[in-house]
Amino acid sequence: MPQYPLLIEPQTLKKHLDDENLLIIDLCKRETYQANHVPGAIHFDYSHIVKVDKPIMGLVPDDAKLVEIFSSLGIDNNIHVVAYDDEGGGKACRFMWTLELAGHNKLSLLNGGIFSWANSGLPLSQTESLPSPSTFETQKNQSILATLEYIQANLDNEQVQLLDSRSLAEYRGSKVYALKGGHIPGAIHYEWTDAMDRNNNLCMLPINEIEQTLLDKGVDKDKTIVAYCHSHHRSSYSYYVLKMAGYKNIKGYAGSWSEWGNHPDTEVEKLS
């Protein structure tokens, strides 16, 4: 089986479209998929991969639900999954992160998603591809999941850093989508779209450039980094940005600000 990079370029994926154990998952809007998609890609509705317990968004479905979802898509231990979307990678990365949490590590993100593929002049399809169901087995990797309790217990731990992937207005507390505004105390701000090239189909910026920006912000490679946003959608992209930039100990906070900002016993910081 070929070795695929974690970040796969459109031209590289084009060469592997007919690979037997490659599964391409499209997380674009349904109408986008119907109009044009990567040949052979299977459409998946992002809402199925997150659990909502209002006001908390972005929770992880239980193991039984994950088995049902991933089995229905035809994912098993032999399958390498390439995910993409139409927003730069947030939905695709949350899908990948959930798969990784469930123990599946054969994953790639299509750099720039459908826009990068289409604007590279590569073939597009309007024919819907249907999955061949398989048997998925979960082997939970809890090491990549941060909980509210974990963060509270480590707020004063110098070996744990928090990375806030939301907009600067949300981080400052001037834009509020929960009972409380602001950020988790000590969190470093790095908006998820700051890692994207807005002049190149929202492809990821050069990794060395991203790495330097993170280091300049004080994000330490020797520490555990917890990425969060409002529902671990945007921060799932940041999770893989960190991974590609060489960070080894990374967690995603599934409940993110929708949980922290609505919980009565959490501390927050604001910027004036």
What pLDDT does residue 2 have? 75
Q: What is the mean pLDDT of the chain?
A: 96
pLDDT confidence band for 1 (50 / 70 / 90): low
pTM of the model: 0.96
Catalytic residues: 229
Domains, in order of start, for the chain:
7-119 (3.40.250.10), 142-260 (3.40.250.10)
Sign of the dihedral defined by the CA atoms of residues 184, 186, 187, 190, in that order: positive
Report the pLDDT averaged over residues 204-213: 97
What pLDDT does residue 40 have? 98
* Segment 84-136, tens digit of pLDDT: 999 999 999 999 999 999 999 999 999 999 999 999 999 999 999 999 999 99
Cβ-contact 42, 26 below 8 angstroms? yes
Reading the block at residue 236, the tokens are 């799932």
Report the pLDDT averaged over residues 206-229: 97
**Residue closest to 248 by CA, chosen among 173, 144, 178:** 144
**Residue closest to 1 by CA, chosen among 77, 73, 94, 72:** 77
d(CA 166, CA 184): 12
CA distances from 40 to 26, 137, 173 (A): 10, 24, 43
* Segment 224-260, tens digit of pLDDT: 999 999 999 999 999 999 999 999 999 999 999 999 9
Q: Do strands 145-146 and 250-253 pair parallel, antiparallel, or not at all (unpaired)?
A: parallel
Counting residues of the chain whose pLDDT is more than 70, the rounded percentage is 99
Q: Do strands 80-84 and 22-26 pair parallel, antiparallel, or not at all (unpaired)?
A: parallel
What is the CA angle 52-55-61, rounded to 5? 20
* Segment 8-36, tens digit of pLDDT: 999 999 999 999 999 999 999 999 999 99
- Contact residues for 20 (Cβ-Cβ < 8 A; gap 6+): none
Q: Do strands 224-228 and 250-253 pair parallel, antiparallel, or not at all (unpaired)?
A: parallel
Question: Residue type at 9?
Answer: E
CA distances from 31 to 36, 37, 128 (A): 9, 10, 12
Q: How many CB atoms lie within 10 A of CB 222?
A: 8
pLDDT confidence band for 68 (50 / 70 / 90): very high
